[in-house]
Amino acid sequence: MSAPMTPAERLAERGLFLATGVTAFALLAVPVAVCGLGLGGLARPAGGLSSLLALRWQEPGPHGVLVPLAGTLLVGLGASLWAAPVGIGAATWIRWLAPARVRRRAREVASALAAVPPVVAGFVGLIAVAPLLARIGGVPDGRGLPAAVIVVGALALPPVIAGADRAMARVPRRRFDAALALGATRVQAIRAVIWPVAAVDLASAALLGVGRALGDAMVVLLVAGDDHGLGGPLRTLTTTIALELPRAVDPEHRDALYVAAGALALLGLLVGAARARTERAPS
């Protein structure tokens, strides 16, 4: 026996369902359309499959998509090599070793850092990291793979720290306390109890953080260098799409760029799938 709904309420409830439907459609549309464009380019490439699979990307052709894909994966690998241990280490310190007052502050700062616009991170890379590398590393103008690895890693730190913190929060506190009661130091308890129990979640937190930063275009656009050729030869999916798609007229070029965009979308979906798995995992 529920109260009769007013017409306005009835309308609002319909609106709620409608909003849900439109949201589902809109969410589906982006990956489906972009992957579709990519598949279209892959199915009958205007320049032939051999051009698409060539190991070079140059004007007027061939545009081998494997080149920017390799660049993206290389940056991701480099960035995870340093950002994963540093992020997990920092999260461990914040959760288990920091004084309580510092801990609260540090968490707030880490979550605020996640809001830094990527274009600003890229700009800092351009004005600070690149000149530094040029001076001490001898990289001409400092831009290229090393700069991209540093800045993409830095951009991955906030999500890695947040994810690692969540992963360790799932370890029951009493296990830590039990280790301490047996006479272990805090660091011993971390090594013997916390890390082994949280290992899988920690690894996926690192993967997700780097995966997120990897897809970001702005950082690499600013620190990769305009010269897509040599020095720090760095061409990634994002730089290629952002710089070339708005101007591409040649159908062969356009198809290759669509394939690159499809690959980028797919990479994002893979990271999302990994995330869905870890967040659903009971523990």
Partner 1 sequence: MTADRALRVALTACAALVAALVVLAVGALVVGLVVAEPAQATPGLGLAIAGTVQIVGIALTVAAPLGVGAGVFLAEYGRLGPPAHMLRALVQQVASIPALVHGVFGLAVFVGLLGLGPTVAAAGLAVALLLLPGIVEATEVAVRRVPDLQREAALALGASRFQVVGRVVLPSAARGVAGGVLRATARALGEAAPLILVGAVVARPSSGEGFSAVPFRLWALAQGTGREPYALALSLVGIAVALAVIGARLRAGGSER
- What residues from 212 to 241 belong to the interface with partner 1 (CB under 8 A)? 212, 215-218, 221-222, 238, 241
Query: Rule CB under 8 A: which of 32-91 touch partner 1?
Result: 33-34, 37, 85-90
| Amino acid (one-letter) located at 283 | S
Query: Angle at CA 222, nearest 5°, toward 218 and 228?
Result: 110
What tokens appear for 180 in the block?
């301490």
Task: Please give the helix or strand (H or E) that residue 132 lies within, else none.
Answer: helix 130-132
Integer-rounded Cα radius of gyration of the chain: 23
| C-alpha distances out from residue 182 to 74, 98, 178, 186, Å | 45, 22, 6, 11
Which CB, 35 or 67, lies closer to partner 1?
35
By CB under 8 A, which span of 60-68, 172-180, 196-204, 262-270 interacts with partner 1? 262-270
Using CB under 8 A as the binding rule, whether residue 111 contacts partner 1 is answered as: yes
Query: Rule CB under 8 A: which of 114-173 touch partner 1?
Result: 114-124, 126-128, 154, 157, 161
Token look-up 């920092």 returns 90
By CB under 8 A, which span of 3-11, 47-55, 58-66, 197-205 interacts with partner 1? 3-11
Q: Which residues are CB-contacts of 89 (< 8 A; sequence separation ≥ 6)? A: none
By CB under 8 A, which span of 44-52, 173-181, 197-205, 269-277 interacts with partner 1? 269-277
Number of CB atoms found within 10 A of residue 197's CB: 18
Which CB, 89 or 229, lies closer to partner 1?
89
Token look-up 């001898």 returns 138
Which CB, 52 or 161, lies closer to partner 1?
161
Provide the mask over 178-217, with x wherever binding to partner 1 is found by CB under 8 A and - wherever it is not: -------x-xx-xx----------------x--xx--xxx
